[in-house]
Chains A and B, each alone.
Chain A
Amino acid sequence: MAPHILAPTPAGLYCPAGDFHIDPTRAVPRALITHGHSDHARAGHGAVLATRETLAIMALRYGEAFCAERQVAAYGERIRVGGVDVAFHPAGHVLGSAQICVADARQRIVVSGDYKRQRDPTCPAFEPISCDVFITEATFALPVFRHPDTSHEVEKLLSSCRIFPDRAHLLGAYSLGKAQRMMALIREAGWDRPIYIHGAMEKITDYYASEGVDFGEIVKVSASDRARLAGEIVLCPPSAIQDVWSRKFPDPVAAFASGWMRVRARARQRGVELPLIVSDHADWDDLCATILETRCGEVWVTHGEADALAHWASTIGLPARPLHLVGYGDEEEAGVEAPSA
């Protein structure tokens, strides 16, 4: 059998024919980036090829000098890189997120990056791409993870605001993607009061708004406001809830929007009082369905619960290969001890 056009290396997936890495975990001469979360998009590469939105998000997070040279990939556009063709397709994970299809005359491999199939009003929906090898994430690859309808989860938050109008509702949500999706969902549910945000979310939220996502009135929380926000919804990075920052709010309710909230022990460990099961990753049913939709002849699993997914693949006769790539985690878990400023 001929070697594959992509291979796992210590720095991440590498394409010898095009001499580039995809989502490398260390600085490389040429990188293709699926999306802007920090475990996939790092600073310091030579050349970076990514969607316009991902490049903009990297510049916001790392400064304009985050790489030496950058190139925009439009969704669906075929780009020649060395001896292969690459194309970026929507992954539905966060604004600008993409799957990357790498192909030569013999073979097509799709690197999913992180993705979800649930509706997200803040980014284009995932498109299944047929391929020979599908490289999938597996963050929530256990059959216990089945994300409920998001409107049901948002209703839990709004009903708590009704029962506890004297308490501030602090909603922990990852600053890039989850926070903006929650704002949009809260608006869809009919909440017409201002939505308050922690300062750490301001830049990214402004960027989403400049890309045409309508959040209604968003107010950055100032230190003097905090005591007055009873009955209001305040979005903040998950770590801020346990931080000194949260103290000034009136009797705060600690809410957290994450796929991990499906498992009660996980919510309890983090001191969450109002867990909302909203995830930007595919759940078990969607992982399985997506793999079938790509009609791939082989599935590789980058990170997460690879063993369970590999076991499932084996039960339907699909060859599966856990890659055990190091350096990718769930962005929410990675954010736990991050400074809240």
Chain B
Amino acid sequence: MNRFAELLDRIAFEPGRNGKLRLLADYFRHTDDPDRGWALAAMTGALVFRHAKPGVIRALIAERTDPVLFAMSYDYVGDLSETVALLWPHSSAAIGHNAPPPPTLSEVVEILHETPKAALPQALAALLDQLDETGRWALLKLITGALRIGVSARLAKTALASLGDDIAPNAIEEIWPGLEPPYLDLFAWVEGRADRPRILDPAPFRAAMLAHAIEETNFAALDPRDFAAEWKWDGIRVQAVVGRDVDGRRVARLYSRTGEDISPAFPDLIESICAGSFGEAAIDGELLIVREGRVESFGTLQQRLNRKKVDAKLVAEFPAHVRAYDLLSEDGEDLRPLTFAQRRRKLERFIQSRAPDRFDLSPIVPFDTWDQLAAYRRDPASAGALDEAGAIEGLMLKRLDSIYVPGRPTGPWWKWKRDPFTVDAVLMYAQRGHGKRSSFYSDYTFGVWREGAEGEELVPVGKAYFGFTDAELKQLDKWVRDHTTNRFGPVREVEANRKTGLVLEVAFEGVQRSARHKSGVAMRFPRVSRIRWDKPARDADRLEAVEALVGERK
């Protein structure tokens, strides 16, 4: 347990993805079964302890500490698990050479799983007695289900894949839903000691095929006759899968692009694919909110995402819908080795004859030349998208002969996004970054002009921390250091007035009304697209220009 705790502790402070991967890989390499499997389960969200709640922890610490000192400590530390981990009294039993070794992660998991609810406080206290500060912290984070160490399930699987010879993370993703902790068969396969575990999941996730962004220079080498074009819908990419288990029962699941099972959040979709004609199939498509036959904006979809509880009201208000791009399997047959053109014909037939109401087809956009397609991209309504143009974020180009391969191969598929909005804003505050950027002022808060109580004033409209080159970052950092007017911890306020100020051209995907922001608007996906060294601050854009874009989509 202490070794796992130290991994969590170290990784929580490591800002870089590569750094995290190496720490994880090092842990997997040097930790025995089944501990490392339980660790993988903890990081992929596969471990849940139902009876251990913050109330139990509060009660335990209250029995052991002075309430005044606890209150002062909690106030200082600011996190319950951490305060308890640090305050927990040293147990005399755990000190000295004859003390038993601290419990392993496997032992901890077993105790937490097996102990009945009534006996849990005592069992938990015994564990806390045997661990050190970091071990207690990790245990408490584990049982309250709040690791928050910046490791996604995908990252943990990628680290595991790196242990093997030429094993792609997607290969793990494919079999993942059929595996159970502590994943002995998975580790054995990755380390070359056994065959790949057989997929027992009746409704498995199939790693998604993704596209690279196309550049202007790519077109010269591409023949329009080799490609099909379709709209790139602005929702979330999903996979709807139905299969049959060994007892013949239907199993239906909805997966995110990364293979996360998001079925519980979409009972309406699950119900629709369970019923009737859908049969056994896997559809790749875009999850959208459709009301009165019309696709709503991403902003509307967001109101349904990330909800812990999904009630009937939410489902009725934001009905989920899948716009199908591809058919990956049908009646037990894997269609991925077929070409796009072949799969498309099967998809069209499937949607027409077997799909429920909540499914429809993402239409093909016919075109002859790249110039013609470029015009459609600028104005999707002109190509028949009509009142759904607002839910389109660009075009997808797919080679007619492309088979469906997991990952992001270069060549078969391209995405061609619409140009973003831009606004000229004035740099107001800069904050130091993290990791490699910890000595650079790399996070920029920018504002636009508006009429204030005392004349023209800047109001912050967003924050951007990428979009510039390393060379530009150095120039920006120098400008910030040379024009600082005030410091607040890691944040610097810089000169920003009619006379002096740095204008940043900011690109973004859309604007929403927001009560949480002083300006009343929030930008989606803002980034620095150009540094306007030449432009006087007084000529930057005004808030009205940003407000005019509310609801507009790019």
Contact = CB atoms under 8 A, between A and B. Distances in A.
B22 A163 contact: yes
B69 interface: yes
Interface in A262-293: 262-265, 267-269, 271-275
Given A241-B438, A242-B438, A269-B489, A144 B73 contact: yes
Contact of B69 (A142, A265, A267): A142
- Interface residue tally of chain A, by bracket? 35 or more
Contact of A311 (B6, B10, B13, B69): B69
A18 interface: no
Contacts of A264: 12-13, 79, 82
Contact of A247 (B6, B432, B439): B439
Contacts of A246: 438-439
Interface string B1-34: 0000010001011110001001100100000000
B2 to A, nearest CB: 10
B22 A265 contact: no
Contact of A273 (B15, B78, B489): B15
A315 interface: yes
Interface in B240-254: none
Which bracket fits the contact residues of B?
35 or more
A203 interface: no
Interface string B62-90: 00011011001100111100110011001
Nearest to B435: A273
Contacts of B73: 142-144, 308
A284 B13 CA distance: 25
B482 to A, nearest CB: 12
B490 A265 contact: no
A109 interface: no
- Could you say which of B14, B86, B438 has the most chain A C-beta atoms within 10 Å of its C-beta? B438
B132 A148 contact: yes
Contacts of A242: 432, 438-439
Given A264-B79, A264-B82, A272 B13 contact: yes
Given A163-B23, A308-B69, A251 B436 contact: yes
B133 interface: yes
A21 B87 CA distance: 37
A274 B77 contact: no
B53 interface: no
A243 B90 CA distance: 39
A268 B86 CA distance: 17
Contacts of A245: 439
Interface string B115-155: 00000000000000000110000000000000000000000
A144 B432 contact: no
A271 B442 CA distance: 14
> Which 3 A-B residue pairs are closest in the complex by CB-CB distance?
A144-B86, A144-B73, A271-B438
Given A262-B133, A263-B77, 17 more contacts: A143-B69, A144-B76, A144-B77, A144-B86, A146-B133, A156-B10, A242-B432, A242-B438, A245-B439, A246-B439, A251-B436, A252-B436, A264-B79, A269-B489, A308-B73, A311-B68, A311-B72
Interface of B: 6, 10, 12-15, 19, 22-23, 26, 65-66, 68-69, 72-73, 76-79, 82-83, 86-87, 90, 132-133, 432, 434-436, 438-440, 489-490
5 contacts: A144-B77, A148-B133, A163-B23, A246-B438, A308-B72
